[in-house]
Structure 1
Amino acid sequence: MVTAWLAVALCVLTGCTVGGSPSGGGEAGAAPPQSAIAVSPAGGNGVSPTTPIVVTATSATLGTVTVTNPADGKTVTGALSPDKRTWTSNEPLGYGADYAVVADAVDGSGKTIDTNATVRTVAPDVTTYPSFIPDPTATDSWGVGQIIGVSFDHDVTDRAAAVKALSVQSVPPQPGAWYWIDAKTVHYRPQNYWQPGTTITLSANIYGVDLGGGVYGRTDRTATYKIHDSWIAKADGNTDQLTIFHNGVQVNQMPMSLGSPGHPSHEGPHVISDKQNSVVMDSCSYGVCAGAPGYYKETVYLDEQISADGEYVHSAPWSVGEQGESNVSHGCVNLSPENAQWFFDHFNLGDVVEVTNSGGPKLPVWDTYGDWEVPWNVWQQGGLDN
C-alpha cells in the first residue's frame, strides 16, 4: 500500500499519466520541422559540368530559383518538380566556373526563406577532342570490313572511363568490343564482318568525363554509318588469282601479282581506307630514295589503299605478263588496266581484300586496318596489354 501510494504521488509531481499516454498521440511540445533550402552539389571542390545542380526545399515550397554564371551572365535552365519542392538544372554547365545559386521558398506559416550558394565546376588541365574513325562525311556508305573508332588528341590514361563513355549501337544488333591501338586511339568491331545493310551509331559522351591525368572530354559527338553490300576479294599468292565475292557469291576472278619475295604483301584481311584515280608512288616514302638501287617514283592509276604502309590494289600495265604467273610487286595487288577499272568501279571504302599465301607477315593491327587479324578472344581483352 505504501509503495503504490508513493508511485501515485511521484506521478503527480512529475506530470506523468497512469495507464495511458499524453493526448495528441505524440511528444508534448515537439517543435515543427524547420524549413530550409539545400543546394547540391555542395562544397568548394570542382564538380563535373554534367552533374546537375539540385535545389531542395524542406517543409516549404520553392518560389524562384536562379542559377547564373557570373563570368558571362548566362542563366542556367532548369525544371521544378510537380510538388514544387525540388528544382533541377537540365543543361550542361561550363568548365572552370563558379555558378551563383539564388533561391527562395515559402513555409507552411507563410514565412519566406531564401538562400545563396555557389557551385564550382572542375577546371581541367587540358580537354581532348574525340575524332571519329572513319570520317563520317567521307562517303555515304561503307563496306562490311569497316572499323569504327575514336582518336583523341591527348593520351588517355583512364581507358575504362573512356570506354564507358563510348557506345556503338548497330541495327540489326551485332555484339562487338573495343580495342586500344595506342594511348590515343581505340577501335571497335564485331567478331565477324558487319552484316550488309547494318546501320551503326557511334556516340562519344565524354564531355565532363575525367579521362585521367588531368584530361577531360571536350565535347560529346554522335555519327551514323551505313553498311552497304558485302564485297570481298580473296588474293591468293599460290594461284596469283584475285577472286571476287558479292554478298557471298563469286562474281569475278582475275589474274594478279602480289609482292615479290623481297617485298611480300602482308597476309590477312585488309580494308580499303582510301580511293583515288591516281597516286604518285615514291619509294623514298619507305627509305629507298633517288640514287639508291630499286628507287622509283611514278604516277599509278585506279588506286585503292589497303594498308597505311603503302599497299594498294591498282592498275599495273607494266606487270601484265607476270599477273597470274608470279609475284613481282612491291607489296601491292597488281591488276591489268581493264581489271583494275572493274575493281575500282565495284569496290569502295570499307570493302575487304583478304590476302593469303603471300609469304609476308601478318598485317599489324595498327596498319589501317589490321584489326581483323587479331583473334576475337584477344580483341575482347581490350588491347594495350589489357
Structure 2
Amino acid sequence: MRIAGLGVLALVLTACGGQSEQVAGVAQSVPNVVPAAKVSVVSQGSDQLSPRSPIVVKASDGTLQAVTVTNPQTGNTVKGDFSPDKLTWTSDDQLRYGATYQVVATAVNKEGKPVEQRSEVHTLTPKGVVTPTLLQPASNGTFGVGLIIGVKFDRDVPDKAAVEKSFKVTSSPEQGGGWYWVNKREAHFRPQSYWKAGSTVKLETTTFGQEISGGVYGGADVSATYKVHDSWIAKADGNTHQIQAFHNGELVKTAPTSMGKTDNTPPRGPTPTFNGTHTVLGKQAHMIMDSCTYGVCEGQPGYYKAPENWDVQISGDGEYLHENLATVSVQGSQNVSNGCLNMNTENAKWFFDNFNVGDVVEITNSGGPQLNINNGHGDWAIDWSAWQAGSALHG
C-alpha cells in the first residue's frame, strides 16, 4: 500500500508541473517550439507610395539582421537606419517617382535561425511635375540688405496656396517677412524692411512628393543659405543731381551724377531713369553697351554702341551706375543720359568697388515711372500692405 501511494503522488506532481504528459502510464517530455521570425514591408506591392515617404521594414518574432533596398533601374542602393531594438528599418534617402525598389530583408528568431524576405515597393507616377529653381542662386559670397530671394517653377502652379505652404524661410536674427506671387510661376520673399546687416537667411522648399493639384506633384526641392554683409545704401536724387552712399547708416560718399533725360531732346526723346528702390544685380568692370539689346538697333534714331567702364547694374532693362566721360560737364546739374546714372571715373570706380549684389540704390525725383517688380528686383518699391496681399495664403 505504501508503494502504490508514492506512485500516485508522483503522477500528481508531474501533472501540476506542466512539463510532461502521461502516455500509456509513462511521463513524456514535450519540447518548446520557437516561432520563425517574420518580415513585413510597408506598402509592399503598392503603386501609390509617395517618394517623400520612407520605405519601412518591420520584424516580428525576431529581429532584423540585414536590409538592402535597391533601385535596379539606376543600380543605386537606398540608405536607411535600424531602430535601436532592430525591429524596424527606415529609409532616409530621397526616392524617385515611378520607380520599383527591390527589398531584401533578413531577420532571425530567438534561436538565431534566419529567414529572408524579398519584395518590391513601387512609387507613384505623377501626371506632371512642377520643378522649382532659385530666383537668387546660392553663392560663396555675401549679399546686400536689399537681397530678394524666391522660387521659380518650370510650369504654371495650379494651387499656389498649397505650394506656398511648403516654402520655409528662416533668418538669424529672426525678421519675419512674406511671399508675393509675381505670376503663376514665380514667388518672391522679403521682410517688411531691409534685412539686418550680418543676417543669415535660409530658404527651403518641401514640395517634392507633394500633390499640387490633380495628379501633378512637386519636383526636386531646392535650398540655399545667404549671408548678408554690411548695409550699403545709395540715395540718388534727380532734382539735386547727386548720389549719396551710406555705409551702416553713415554718409561716406557724395558724388554728382546725371540721370536719364526727361525732355524730348533728339534723337530718342525722353529716357528717364526709373523711380523707386533698386538693388544691385551684378557688375562688370568693362562692357559694350548696345541699345539694340532693348530694341533700338543700328539705323534707328537713338542707336548707340559704346564701351563703358565700372558698370553696376541696377535694373533688368539696362540701368547702370557707370563712368561716362561725355557727360562730366553736366553731372550734378542736368539729366541727359539714356537712363543710367553717369559719373566721372573716380566716382564710378568708387561705387563699383563698394557696391555688390543686393546692395540698395534708392532713386527719387527722376521723372520716370516706378520700377516694376519684373524689371530686376523692384520688390522693395511695393508697399508692404500690397506685398502681403500678393501672398496666396494671406491675399
Q: Specify the TM-score bucket, using the shorter chain as the normaliser.
A: 0.7 to 0.9
Question: Of 32, 35, 41, which aligns to 2:43?
Answer: 41
CA RMSD of aligned residues (A): 3.0
Does 1:274 find its partner at 2:269? Answer: no
Q: CA deviation at 1:124?
A: 3.7
Q: CA deviation at 1:258?
A: 1.4
Does 1:181 find its partner at 2:189? Answer: no
Cα 1:258/1:110, change in 2 over 3 Å: closer
Q: CA deviation at 1:129?
A: 4.8
Q: Return the letter of the residue paired with 1:49.
A: P
Q: CA deviation at 1:43?
A: 5.7
Q: Return the letter of the residue paired with 2:295.
A: G
Normalising by structure 2, what TM-score?
0.79
Listed one character per residue, the Cα deviations across residues 77-119 of structure 1 (whole Å, up to 9, x for unaligned) are: 3333334433322222222112233546567899987755432
Distance 2:256 2:73 in 1: 68
SS of residue matched to 1:143:
coil
Partner of 1:321: 329
Question: Of 94, 99, 102, which aligns to 2:101?
Answer: 99
Q: Return the letter of the residue paired with 1:259.
A: G
Cα 1:36/1:270, change in 2 over 3 Å: same
Cα 1:79/1:135, change in 2 over 3 Å: closer
Q: Structure 2: which 5+ runs fail to align?
A: 1-36, 263-269
Cα 1:244/1:84, change in 2 over 3 Å: closer
Q: Return the letter of the residue paired with 1:159.
A: K
Q: Structure 1: which 5+ runs fail to align?
A: 1-34
Partner of 1:52: 54
SS of residue matched to 1:238:
coil
Distance 2:236 2:59 in 1: 71
After alignment, is 293-302 or 157-166 more displaced?
157-166
Question: Of 331, 335, 357, which aligns to 2:343?
Answer: 335
Question: Of 84, 88, 92, which aligns to 1:86?
Answer: 88
Partner of 2:251: 250
Distance 2:378 2:260 in 1: 18
Matched-pair identity in %: 50
After alignment, is 157-166 or 314-323 more displaced?
157-166
Listed one character per residue, the Cα deviations across residues 298-355 of structure 1 (whole Å, up to 9, x for unaligned) are: 1121111110011111112111222221211121111122221222122111111101
Does 1:135 find its partner at 2:143? Answer: no
After alignment, is 42-51 or 298-307 more displaced?
42-51
Distance 2:76 2:306 in 1: 59
Partner of 2:123: 121
Listed one character per residue, the Cα deviations across residues 251-297 of structure 1 (whole Å, up to 9, x for unaligned) are: 12111111111111111100010101122222222322222222222
Distance 2:78 2:352 in 1: 53
Alignment of 1:287-306 (within 5 A): 287-306=295-314
Q: Return the letter of the residue paired with 1:143.
A: G
Distance 2:82 2:218 in 1: 29
Does 1:369 find its partner at 2:370? Answer: no
Q: CA deviation at 1:163?
A: 2.9
Distance 2:82 2:207 in 1: 27
Paired residues in the alignment total 353
After alignment, is 200-209 or 338-347 more displaced?
200-209
SS of residue matched to 2:349:
helix
Distance 2:300 2:114 in 1: 88
Distance 1:44 1:107 in 2: 28
Cα 1:320/1:36, change in 2 over 3 Å: same
Partner of 1:345: 353
Partner of 2:29: none
After alignment, is 81-90 or 48-57 more displaced?
81-90
Distance 1:72 1:255 in 2: 62
Q: Return the letter of the residue paired with 1:77.
A: K
Partner of 1:152: 153
Distance 2:40 2:343 in 1: 74
Q: CA deviation at 1:193?
A: 0.7
Q: Assess if the C-alpha contact under 8 Å between 1:156 and 1:215 holds in 2.
A: no
Cα 1:382/1:73, change in 2 over 3 Å: same
After alignment, is 35-44 or 370-379 more displaced?
35-44
After alignment, is 341-350 or 35-44 more displaced?
35-44
Listed one character per residue, the Cα deviations across residues 177-211 of structure 1 (whole Å, up to 9, x for unaligned) are: 22222333222111111111112223334443344
Q: Assess if the C-alpha contact under 8 Å between 1:314 and 1:333 holds in 2.
A: yes
Q: Return the letter of the residue paired with 1:329.
A: S
Does 1:77 find its partner at 2:79? Answer: yes
Q: Assess if the C-alpha contact under 8 Å between 1:181 and 1:384 holds in 2.
A: no
Q: Assess if the C-alpha contact under 8 Å between 2:161 and 2:392 holds in 1.
A: no
Cα 1:110/1:331, change in 2 over 3 Å: closer
Distance 2:392 2:336 in 1: 36
Partner of 2:25: none
Distance 1:302 1:318 in 2: 15
Q: CA deviation at 1:61?
A: 4.6
